[in-house]
Amino acid sequence: MIRPEPIVLVVGQCFETKNDYDMARKTLSREGIEMLRAADQHGAALRICEADPAVVLIDLTLKDGSPLAVADFCNYRRPDTRVILLRGGNLMADGSLFAHVGNAAALVSDQIPTGDLMALVAFHAGRRLTPA
């Protein structure tokens, strides 16, 4: 499905600071990508149904609910949506996570710089970031 204005859904605490979140949102906005946020599993499920996101960025340390349940629900309701999982650490470092999350596009460390993460998100949303 081609989305004229892609939407990215951020689930959980994917950014260390509000400043990082604001920078990410501004970076994506310049490329015509809208960034939405969900704090928990329930909110993510509602946003996935309502917004049809191109990319869902999920914090694997999600406090309220299960991040894998969010990924599974996304795979069921929006199989074309790319899922990027953040803060994996050693979780399924052997790549087996991709067998469990059908539309997983990437598993990245929380050490990734915000700019690099946004470039990855934009790529999976079908856009390319232009230098600021």
What pLDDT, in 10s, does the model give residues 5-44? 899 999 999 988 899 999 999 999 998 999 999 999 999 9
pLDDT at residue 1, as a whole number: 47
Q: Which of the two residues, 130 and 111, has the higher pLDDT score?
A: 111
Residue 90 has pLDDT above 80, yes or no: no
pTM over 0.75: yes
Identify the pLDDT of residue 57. 97
Distance CA 11, CA 6 (A): 16
92 has a pLDDT exceeding 60: no
Q: What is the DSSP letter of 85?
A: E
Nearest Cα to Cα of residue 103 among 30, 54, 35: 54
Q: Is 7-110+118-124 a domain of CATH 3.40.50.2300?
A: yes
Q: Which of 94, 96, 111, 87 is nearest to 10 (CA)?
A: 87
